[in-house]
C-alpha cells in the first residue's frame, strides 16, 4: 500500500530520525547530481493556494530524485468547474506515481490519499504544515549540533512560537516539537490557543502533550533558545486582517524579546515574512536569523520524506 505523509505523526520517531539522517546525506551529496529514487516517475504538485518555497523545493526535489514534476494549479483543472475531489484523485492516481498537495481543508489531502491509491504529501493545509515542521526540526538539529544534526542537540531546548498559535504552523510546531523533545511554549492572544483538534493528534499517536500556552510574550521569551514566528494573516484569513494585526501586535518578535532570551538565541520563520508586523526588520536581518538556511533545508528534508515513503510503501 502507498504510504502518505499528511501529518507529523505519520512517521514514527525512529522513522523520522531516519528521515533526518537521510536529509543530512542528501544535503552533503547534492552536487553529485540527480539520483534514481523515483527514476522517470511523474509526480503531480497540486496547489489550491499560493506558494514560492514549497513549489520550488518540491519541483527541484522531485527532479533531483530522478522524477518528473508536474505543477498543477487547481484553478486550471475541472475541479474548479465542479468535478469532485474523489474523481480528480482517482484520475490523478491513474497517471501519477505521487501527489504533493497544498489545500485549504485538511480533508482534501486525506481524500486524495484515500482515492488516488498513491503516496500523497501534505504541502500545507489550514490545519498542518508537516514538511515545514520537519524541516524546522532538522534545521535546529543542524544549528545546535554545529553542523552535525542530531536529535540530542535539540533535546530540552526552549522553543517559543509567537503570534497566531492556532494556525497551521503553531499546530505543526507544537506537535513536532513535543514529538522530538523540545520544550515548547506557544505564545499569543487569548482566544488563539490550540483547540481539541490538536490534542486529538497527540492522543491518537500516544505523544505526551508537553507544550504550554501563555499570552505573556516577555515571560515566554525568557531564556528561550529559539524564537519563532509566522505571518499573522494566513492564506484564507485575509478578511480578518485588521483585527488580527491589532490583537497580535504585542507578539512581534523584536529586539525587546531577544533581550530576555538566551544570549545566543536564534530567530526562525517559515517565510514569507512581513517585516514590521510579526518580526522587526532588525531581527529578521540580524546574524541570529537563520531563515534562509531553514528555507533551503525544505529541499533536503522533503527529498528524504519522499524517499522514505516510497521505500516503505507496497
| Contacts with ligand NVA, residue ranges (CB under 6 A) | 124, 167-169, 230-231, 234-235, 270
Known active-site residue 132? yes
**Residue 168 binding partner per list ligand CP, ligand NVA, none, with a CB distance cut-off of 5 to 8 Å that depends on partner kind:** ligand NVA
Question: 241 vs 246, which CB is nearer to ligand CP?
Answer: 241
**Residue 165 binding partner per list ligand CP, ligand NVA, none, with a CB distance cut-off of 5 to 8 Å that depends on partner kind:** none
212-214, strands of its sheet edge to edge: 212-214, 183-187, 158-162, 226-229, 266-269
CA 130/CA 136 separation, integer angstroms? 10
Residue 274 CB, shortest distance to ligand CP, in Å, is: 13
**Residue 230 binding partner per list ligand CP, ligand NVA, none, with a CB distance cut-off of 5 to 8 Å that depends on partner kind:** ligand NVA
Question: 124 vs 178, which CB is nearer to ligand CP?
Answer: 124
Interface with ligand CP by CB under 6 A: which residues? 51-54, 124, 132, 270-272
Selecting among 10, 53, 55, 102, the annotated active-site residue is 102
Which one, of 282, 277, 217, lies nearest residue 249 by Cα?
Answer: 277
Strands 158-162 and 98-102: unpaired
Residue 50 CB, shortest distance to ligand CP, in Å, is: 6
**Residue 234 binding partner per list ligand NVA, ligand CP, none, with a CB distance cut-off of 5 to 8 Å that depends on partner kind:** ligand NVA
Question: 94 vs 292, which CB is nearer to ligand CP?
Answer: 292
Residue 152 CB, shortest distance to ligand NVA, in Å, is: 28
Residue 231 CB, shortest distance to ligand CP, in Å, is: 9
Known active-site residue 187? no
**Residue 254 binding partner per list ligand CP, ligand NVA, none, with a CB distance cut-off of 5 to 8 Å that depends on partner kind:** none
Question: 38 vs 174, which CB is nearer to ligand NVA?
Answer: 174
Question: 113 vs 231, which CB is nearer to ligand NVA?
Answer: 231
Known active-site residue 129? yes
Annotate the chain with three-state secondary structure.
Answer: CCCCECCHHHCCHHHHHHHHHHHHHHHHHHHHCCCCCCCCCEEEEEECCCCCHHHHHHHHHHHHCCCEEEEEEHHHCHHHHCCCHHHHHHHHHHHCCEEEEECCCHHHHHHHHHHHCCEEEECCCCCCCHHHHHHHHHHHHHHHCCCCCCCHHHCCCEEEEECCCCCHHHHHHHHHHHHCCCEEEEECCCCCCCCHHHHHHHHHHCCCCCCEEECCHHHHHCCCCEEEECCCCCCCCHHHHHHHHHHHHHHCECHHHHCCCCCCCEEEECCCCCECCCECHHHHCCCCECHHHHHHHHHHHHHHHHHHHHHHCC
CA 290/CA 294 separation, integer angstroms? 6
Known active-site residue 298? yes
Known active-site residue 288? no
Selecting among 132, 164, 178, 302, the annotated active-site residue is 132
Question: 193 vs 277, which CB is nearer to ligand CP?
Answer: 277
Known active-site residue 102? yes
**Residue 52 binding partner per list ligand CP, ligand NVA, none, with a CB distance cut-off of 5 to 8 Å that depends on partner kind:** ligand CP
Residue 231 CB, shortest distance to ligand NVA, in Å, is: 5
Catalytic residues: 102, 129, 132, 230, 270, 298
Amino acid at each position: 500500500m502507498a504510504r502518505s505523509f499528511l501529518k507529523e505523526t505519520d512517521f514514527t520517531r525512529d522513522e523520522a530520525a531516519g528521515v533526518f539522517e537521510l536529509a543530512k546525506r542528501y544535503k552533503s551529496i547534492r552536487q553529485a547530481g540527480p539520483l534514481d529514487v523515483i527514476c522517470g516517475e511523474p509526480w503531480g504538485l497540486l496547489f489550491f493556494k499560493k506558494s514560492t518555497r514549497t513549489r520550488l523545493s518540491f519541483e527541484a526535489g522531485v527532479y533531483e530524485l530522478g522524477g518528473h514534476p508536474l505543477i498543477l494549479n487547481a484553478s486550471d483543472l475541472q475541479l474548479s468547474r465542479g468535478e469532485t475531489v474523489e474523481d480528480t484523485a482517482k484520475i490523478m492516481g491513474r497517471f501519477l506515481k505521487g501527489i504533493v498537495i497544498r489545500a485549504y481543508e485538511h480533508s482534501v489531502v486525506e481524500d486524495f490519499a484515500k482515492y488516488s491509491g498513491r503516496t500523497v504529501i501534505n504541502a500545507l493545509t489550514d490545519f498542518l504544515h508537516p514538511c515545514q515542521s520537519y524541516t524546522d526540526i532538522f534545521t535546529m538539529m543542524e544549528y545546535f549540533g554545529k553542523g552535525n544534526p542530531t536529535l540530542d542537540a535539540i533535546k530540552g531546548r526552549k522553543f517559543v512560537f509567537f503570534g497566531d498559535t492556532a494556525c497551521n504552523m503553531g499546530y505543526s510546531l507544537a506537535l513536532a516539537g513535543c514529538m522530538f523533545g523540545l520544550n515548547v511554549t506557544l505564545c499569543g492572544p487569548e482566544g488563539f490557543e490550540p483547540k481539541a483538534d490538536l490534542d486529538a493528534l497527540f492522543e491518537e499517536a500516544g505523544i505526551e502533550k508537553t507544550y504550554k500556552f501563555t499570552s505573556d510574550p516577555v515571560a515566554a521569551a525568557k531564556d528561550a533558545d529559539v524564537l519563532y514566528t509566522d505571518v499573522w494573516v494566513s492564506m484564507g484569513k485575509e478578511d480578518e486582517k485588521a483585527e488580527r494585526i491589532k490583537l497580535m501586535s504585542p507578539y512581534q518578535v523584536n529586539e525587546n524579546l531577544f533581550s530576555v532570551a538566551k544570549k545566543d538565541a536564534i530567530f526562525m520563520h517559515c517565510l514569507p515574512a512581513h517585516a514590521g508586523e510579526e518580526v522587526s526588520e532588525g531581527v529578521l536581518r540580524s546574524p541570529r536569523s537563520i531563515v534562509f538556511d531553514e528555507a533551503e533545508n525544505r529541499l533536503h528534508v522533503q527529498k528524504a520524506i519522499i524517499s522514505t515513503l516510497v521505500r516503505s510503501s507496497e
